[in-house]
Amino acid sequence: MKVGALLCVAGMVIVGSSVSLSQLILDYPTLTGQALRYGLAALILALIVRLSPIGHSSPIGRPSAGGWSSAGDRSSLIGGPSAIGRSSGGGRLFAGPGGIRPTRRELGILTVLAATGLAGFNACILVALPHADAAVVGTVIGAAPLGLALLAPLLRGARPAARIVVAATVVVGGTALVQGSGKADAIGVLASLGALVGEVLFSLLAAAVLPRLGAIRVAAYSCGLAVPLLLAGGVAAGEVARWRLPTAVEAATLGYLALLMTVVAFLAWFTGLQRLGVERAGMIVGLMPVATLVTAAIQAGRLPDPGQTAGVLVVALGLAVGLTARSPSPAPVTQPPSPAGASPTGASPAGAEPADASPAGAEPADAEATGAEAAGASPAGAEAALGAQPVSGGRREPDSAARTDSAYESAARRSAASASSPRERASATVASSAAPRSSPA
């Protein structure tokens, strides 16, 4: 978890500390500039996919009717054995020598991610800023940790962890102190809420496709898919009349934003998100305005005001509470030990004839079939008598002496009932009476 937390922190610090550089491209068409930024980042990421050994491999997923499943029951680290999955979608540019391309479902998720978390996010901020102070917009977007803490477990069908929700609420409160207050009209508030939705979906949707595609491909596809959407938005916003080549400073700024704020920050965030989980990673989003504040204070050569300093401390407190919460881990599947006085299924207890062996003079019976039928015929609901954990070799182990004895006696009684002669039935009955009995608890 420490590595994941450090990666997420690095991603948010890079983004937050780079915000002030955006002032250098204010005169350039906004959506067109973002399209250039994400386009350049997509090309760099595509090159990494094709040349890097990390880009060639991906965790193995299990095949399903629609291609490869991205369910969360697999390991989800970058790298690992190469897994090749067919996809009817495009993506040859990002496929790499390993041939890993998104399925239709994954491509749809990536398209929504690009439309909401990248293109839609930038468009909402562009609409919000003329109608709301930057502090208001930042405060609304700063509620993302709480949204992720609530939505991520609900989408899994689980209940949100109380400690994580409390910690996320504390982080949001600290972020509000850092951002300060301001004014906004209805359009500004709605656009800010739209940016908040984009920020939340950016992590939720990425988490759905990271297990199979890995951080590099998720970043590459999302950036590449955002380019035409941003260009279309620029046309709709009337930026065509202002299209021009960027100046040297604007080009350098866009190159920096593409390389560091997009490629490096996205890879750090997606990798940390994959390791840390959506709820905990979401809280670290609260570090972004803190990094922006610290960077601005360093550039201005003055300390933040007391309210903002208090906000930084509150954010740190919330992160400490949330990141130190224990995450539930599934109990390992182990074979229970055989209780004293009881024998595992298929083993002969001392002084008794085993249930899977035929009585003297009788035809051999299939032990597995006999045990299964006996379990279904037990009057005590012995459907669970053999309902133990599977182990190697296809055998099943009981989880208590009572179940072992019940299965043993039922099998012996059935063998006695099905014997073809009185002598055989008598012999089987002797085996049944010799079965060990466990004492009541």
Predicted local distance difference test score (pLDDT) of residue 180: 79
**Per-residue confidence at 83, pLDDT binned at 50, 70, 90?**
very low
CA-CA-CA-CA dihedral for 122, 124, 128, 133, to nearest 10 = -50
At 99 the pLDDT is 64
pLDDT value, residue 293: 82
Q: Which of 77, 81, 75 is nearest to 56 (CA)?
A: 81
pLDDT class of 24 with cuts at 50, 70, 90: confident
For residue range 267-301, list pLDDT tens digits in order. Answer: 999 999 999 889 888 888 888 888 888 888 887 78
Average pLDDT, the chain: 73
Whether the predicted pLDDT of 386 surpasses 60: no
Quick one: pLDDT at residue 411?
A: 54
pLDDT at 396: 46
**What is the arithmetic mean of pLDDT over 181-193?**
88
All residues at 6 or more sequence positions from 180 whose CB lies less than 8 Å from its CB, including other chains = 135, 139, 307, 308
Of 178, 171, 150, the residue nearest 162 (C-alpha) = 150
Domain boundaries, the chain: 2-323, 338-441
pLDDT (tens digit per residue) in 211-226:
999 999 999 999 999 9
Q: Is the pLDDT of residue 241 over 50?
A: yes
Which stretch of 77-91, 144-158, 331-345 has the lowest confidence by average pLDDT?
77-91
Residues 222-231 have a mean pLDDT of 96
Tell whether the torsion through CA atoms of 248, 291, 196 and 282 is positive or negative.
positive
For every residue of 362-423, DSSP letters joined together read: SPP--HHHHHHHHHHH-TTTGGGTT---B-GGG-B--SSHHHHHHHHHHHHHHHHHH-SSHH
What pLDDT was estimated at residue 232? 94
Asked if 160 and 149 count as a contact pair (C-beta separation under 8 A), the reply is yes
Q: What is the pLDDT of residue 415?
A: 52
What residues pair up with 390 in beta bridges, in sequence order? 396
What average pLDDT does this structure show over 102-106?
Answer: 94
Range scoring the smallest mean pLDDT among 234-238, 248-252, 306-310, 356-360 = 356-360
The reported pLDDT for the residue numbered 76 is 35
- 68 or 23: which leads in pLDDT: 23
Query: What is the mean predicted confidence (pLDDT) over 223-238?
Result: 94
Instruction: Render pLDDT for 114-156 as a digit per residue (tens, 0 to 9).
Output: 999 999 998 898 888 889 887 788 888 888 888 998 998 998 8
Q: Please state, for a pLDDT cut of 90, what percent of the chain lies above it.
A: 30
Percent of the chain with pLDDT over 70: 63
* 74 against 271, higher pLDDT: 271
Q: What is the pTM of this model?
A: 0.64
Specify which of 41-55, 87-101, 358-372 reaches the highest per-range mean pLDDT: 41-55
Q: What is the mean pLDDT of residues 166-188?
A: 86
